[in-house]
Amino acid sequence: MKLLLKGARVVDPASGIDGIRDVLVDGDRISRVDTSIPAEAAVGAAIVELGSSLVVVPGLIDMHVHLREPGYEHKETVATGTASAVAGGFTAVACMPNTNPVNDNASVTRFILKQAAAANLARVYPIGAVSNGSNGEHLAEIADMREAGCVAFSDDGRPVATAALMRRALEYAGMFNMPIIDHCEDRSLAGEGVAHEGFHAAQLGLRGIPAAAEDVMVDRDIVLAHATGGHVHIAHVSTAGALRAVQAGKSRGARVTCEVTPHHLTLSDERLRAPLIYDTNLKMNPPLRGTTDRDALLAGIRDGSIDVIATDHAPHHADDKRVEFDRASFGIVGLETAVSLGFDRLVHAGIIGIGRLVELFSVNPARILKVPGGRIASGDMADITILAPDLPVTVAAAAFRSKARNTPFDGWSLRGGVAATIVGGRVVFANTAVPQAAGLERRERRET
Amino acid sequence: MSETASRLRGKDLLGIADLDVSEINLILDTAEAMKEVASRPIKKVPTLRGKTVINLFFEPSTRTRTSFEIAEKRLSADTLNIAIAMSSVVKGETLIDTALNLEAMAPAIMVVRHSSSGACHLLARTCRAGIVNAGDGTHEHPTQGLLDAFTIRERKGRIAGLKIAIVGDLLHSRVFRSNILLLTKLGAEVWACGPPTLMPPELDRLGVHATTRVDEAVDGADAIMMLRIQLERMQGGFFPSLREYFTVFGMTPERVRLAKPDAIIMHPGPMNRGVEIASEVADGPASVILDQVTNGVAVRMAVLYLLAGGGENEVAA
């Protein structure tokens, strides 16, 4: 099957392209990218006139999601999670190992990949556990999981428990040039905290998680990455101090990269009080920080010191959230709101351009995980996201393709969204609210 | 802001944060009338006759629960006490399901104490019945704040302009949070003192003077409010020993002498004698600790009356 995408703005920082191009897809590959591809050069192709209001970019990759399967299928499955991903414009997701059982061995990895193949939507890159059961004691079988398809290792949901384990993980995974992704949180400082330790938590009587709980562990990890030569990727950076540590680590040559979430870029702990007080959809870990932290993260997005935007998509059943704040589960869903938040709060707010957005959502995750993607060039896998920068979007949690509804953004009006998602040359999502996507939608129906 | 509210705006009393000055004054003024009821030979008015009030206590409490129960009975309400040990929560039922089941029995008000901050807000959003917060986690204990303000006003004739020192475990105290909101709204100069390990962050943003020097806090104070040190906090290593705590922060007669000669000493109870307060101070002439208990009934009557009650004449009857 061939597909000719005509007349859209193509933004591909990896190839240095930002201009009107035609893109020819042949089978699962991109066969040609040119200023104009005549129809006679694309015999047999479905031709879709996109126009310059839409933007064709390398497929977005969310390197931090929780698909909950195996073990918590009432919250999400690989099928519903990847349906959510493609609806959010993501052609690939990397899923964390805190399932039940934990993805700490090759058989769990293979099970996840089997479910992903059956769903046949977004690509799924499993992340294996650093330690058996993610219990922070013994290294899990990293080589075996790598062979089965894991692309990185993490005890996410928890930090890598000790400095000694982190050192060994960096050394051992370093043998394969693979990153250790760490949820940086000193548990002795975080205690039973449920919100950012600051004025608002103090007044609401919520136990605080100090910024220092994150900062000290980021420092620890960077020292160890520098000492071992291993690559540490700091998950969901939320504090100004942690970001400063990453910047300092990079400047002295440590192999450190980091990600932030859309919610830490758009919200602060002030939201705990209004418009709804004690809204459990604002309970996440790391917690929403203060406005100075949020502003520092926005500066890091602008100046390039933050590598990736990842959602930390954390679906929960309504029963897990419709309880007292301190008993509610941590986390919010993010796959279907990330692009709109990115456009509205970063691009349209004048903080970054679309090219930088693509770096954060596609180029850099592909580079860090060393997976295909992040580029639109002849011969590449045809993983493509088509963005609609001016599309008015009203977030409707009830319409999410995810099983879960736990978002603080329900009802938000945002500017910018996803027009279509193409994985391996196959249209897996076409947004009916975008007129130009109609041709793609027909193609999607034919194929499904 | 109006100083002459005639009723409360909401169906609930969840915290001082939700009240404006006119509502606070309305409650305090109403409590004066309610206190008069307690001086009668027959301490009962028909105000809440035929209305059911459920006291839903998920945490152990003797003083607050009894105070509410007496207040309800003096207003002729039908009262029902539900304690955690008897409730279906121990069988795994959620807070919301428990409350909805109780609400199906049509209470006018549920008085709720819970270990989770914000639990009363969750119930208020879910239930039609009025919710009165009788202490939620480390968030607020509004009727305690109101009875403290009532006691200060009764003794001093005013609250605006007074220097009030609050000393103790500020971090874990819902009484402290309600009191700083209430006393600063009413124009007091509030000083907060405790070990830095038991002090919430950014206290100055709450409009109080924060200090770790107890002598500075009580110097020239009109009222000294001691907070309980929860002995279980010792496990958390917030301070080295009870002996050392008393040495550094305990309220002794010598420290009381730094305050104004007519200063009053307050404590929400239960007290740890020899930890946060010396017996000579707790039992001394400046102590109004038992007055606070008495006034608690009047203030709770006022709150229940204003949320579910009838007209003035029913109190006077």
The answer, yes or no, to whether residue B315 has pLDDT greater than 60, is no
Query: What does the pLDDT read at residue A34?
Result: 97
Looking at residues A29-39, what average pLDDT do you find?
Answer: 96
Query: What does each C-alpha distance from A142 to A93, A138, A172, A248, B168 come to in angstroms?
Result: 20, 11, 8, 29, 51
Neighbours of A410 (CB within 10 A): 15
Two tokens, residue A62: 């969310």
Partner-chain contact B117 A203, CB within 8 Å? no
Looking at residues B52-65, what average pLDDT do you find?
Answer: 93
Partner-chain contact B206 A202, CB within 8 Å? yes
Query: What does the pLDDT read at residue B231?
Result: 80
Higher pLDDT, B39 or A360: A360
B96 contact residues in A (CB cutoff 8 A):
322-323
Two tokens, residue A207: 């136990």
* A342 neighbors A262 (Cβ within 8 angstroms): yes
Query: What does the pLDDT read at residue B316?
Result: 52
- pLDDT more than 70, % of chain A: 98
A281 contact residues in B (CB cutoff 8 A):
none
Three-state secondary structure of chain A = CEEEEEEEEEEECCCCEEEEEEEEEECCEEEEEECCCCHHHHCCEEEEECCCCCEEEECEEEEEECCCCCCCCCCCCHHHHHHHHHHCCEEEEEECCCCCCCCCCHHHHHHHHHHHHHHCCCEEEEEECCEHHHCCCCECCHHHHHHHCCCEEECCCCCCCCHHHHHHHHHHHHCCCCCEEECCCCHHHHCCCCEECCHHHHHHCCCEECHHHHHHHHHHHHHHHHHHCCEEEECCCCCHHHHHHHHHHHHCCCEEEEEECHHHHHCCHHHHCCCCCCCHHHCCCCCCCCHHHHHHHHHHHHHCCCCEECCCECCCCHHHHCCCHHHCCCCCCCCCCHHHHHHHHHHCCCCCCHHHHHHHHHHHHHHHHCCCCCCCCCCCECCEEEEEEEEEEECCHHHCCCCCCCCCCCCCEEEEEEEEEEECCEEEEECCCCHHHHHHHHHHHHHC
A312 carries an active-site annotation: yes
Q: What is the pLDDT of residues B184-208, one digit of tens each?
A: 999 999 999 999 999 999 998 989 9
Alpha carbon distance B218, B197 (integer Å): 20
Least CB-CB distance to B95: which of A204, A278, A323?
A323
Q: What φ, ψ does residue B125 adopt, rounded to 5°?
A: -75, -20
Q: What is the pLDDT of residues A359-370, one digit of tens each?
A: 999 999 999 999
Segment 86-105 of chain B within 8 Å of chain A by CB: 94-96
> What are the beta bridge partners of residue A240?
none
B114 contact residues in A (CB cutoff 8 A):
324
* A122 neighbors A109 (Cβ within 8 angstroms): no
Neighbours of A15 (CB within 10 A): 16
Element (H, E) at B34: helix B21-38
B135 contact residues in A (CB cutoff 8 A):
none
Alpha carbon distance A238, A85 (integer Å): 23
Q: What is the pLDDT of residues A6-32, one digit of tens each?
A: 999 999 999 999 999 999 999 999 999
Segment 168-207 of chain B within 8 Å of chain A by CB: 174, 177, 200-203, 205-206
Looking at residues B99-116, what average pLDDT do you find?
Answer: 93
Looking at residues A417-428, what average pLDDT do you find?
Answer: 97
Per-residue DSSP letter, B188: -
Q: How confident is the model at residue A282 (pLDDT cuts 50, 70, 90)?
A: very high
- Distant-in-sequence, close-in-space partners of B168: CB < 8 Å, separation ≥ 6: B176, B194, B198, B226, B227, B228, B229, B249, B276
The answer, yes or no, to whether residue B68 has pLDDT greater than 80, is yes
Looking at residues A291-308, what average pLDDT do you find?
Answer: 98
Pairing of strands B52-57, B109-114: parallel
Looking at residues B145-163, what average pLDDT do you find?
Answer: 98
Chain B interface mutation, best of A200, A204, A282, A317, highest count of B Cβ atoms under 10 Å: A204
- Cis ω for the linkage preceding B253 (within 30 of 0): no
Query: What does the pLDDT read at residue B317?
Result: 45
Alpha carbon distance B74, B77 (integer Å): 8
Alpha carbon distance A4, A375 (integer Å): 17
Q: How many residue pairs bridge chain A and chain B with CB atoms within 8 Å of each other?
A: 63
Looking at residues B155-179, what average pLDDT do you find?
Answer: 97
- Distant-in-sequence, close-in-space partners of A302: CB < 8 Å, separation ≥ 6: A351, A352
Segment 238-297 of chain A within 8 Å of chain B by CB: 277-278
Alpha carbon distance B227, A363 (integer Å): 56
Q: What is the pLDDT of residues A104-145, one digit of tens each?
A: 999 999 999 999 999 999 999 999 999 999 999 999 999 999
Chain B: give the shortest CA distance to residue A279, in Å.
Answer: 9
As a residue count, chain B comes to 317
Q: What is the pLDDT of residues B211-269, one digit of tens each?
A: 999 999 999 999 999 999 988 767 778 999 999 999 999 999 999 999 999 999 999 99
Query: What does each C-alpha distance from B313 to A207, A349, B33, B47, B310 come to in angstroms?
Result: 45, 60, 11, 9, 8
Query: What does the pLDDT read at residue A5?
Result: 97
Neighbours of A192 (CB within 10 A): 9
ipTM for the predicted complex comes to 0.91
Neighbours of B199 (CB within 10 A): 18
Give the chain B residue nearest A204 (alpha carbons).
B139
Question: What's the start-to-end Cα distance of chain B, in Å?
Answer: 32
Query: What does the pLDDT read at residue B312?
Result: 45
Neighbours of A20 (CB within 10 A): 15
Give chain A's mean pLDDT.
96
- Cis ω for the linkage preceding A159 (within 30 of 0): no
Partner-chain contact A198 B174, CB within 8 Å? no
Query: What does the pLDDT read at residue B60?
Result: 86
Per-residue DSSP letter, B154: H
Query: What does the pLDDT read at residue B85?
Result: 62
* A377 neighbors A12 (Cβ within 8 angstroms): yes
* CB-neighbour burial class of residue A299 (10 A; exposed 0-12, middle 13-18, buried 19+): middle
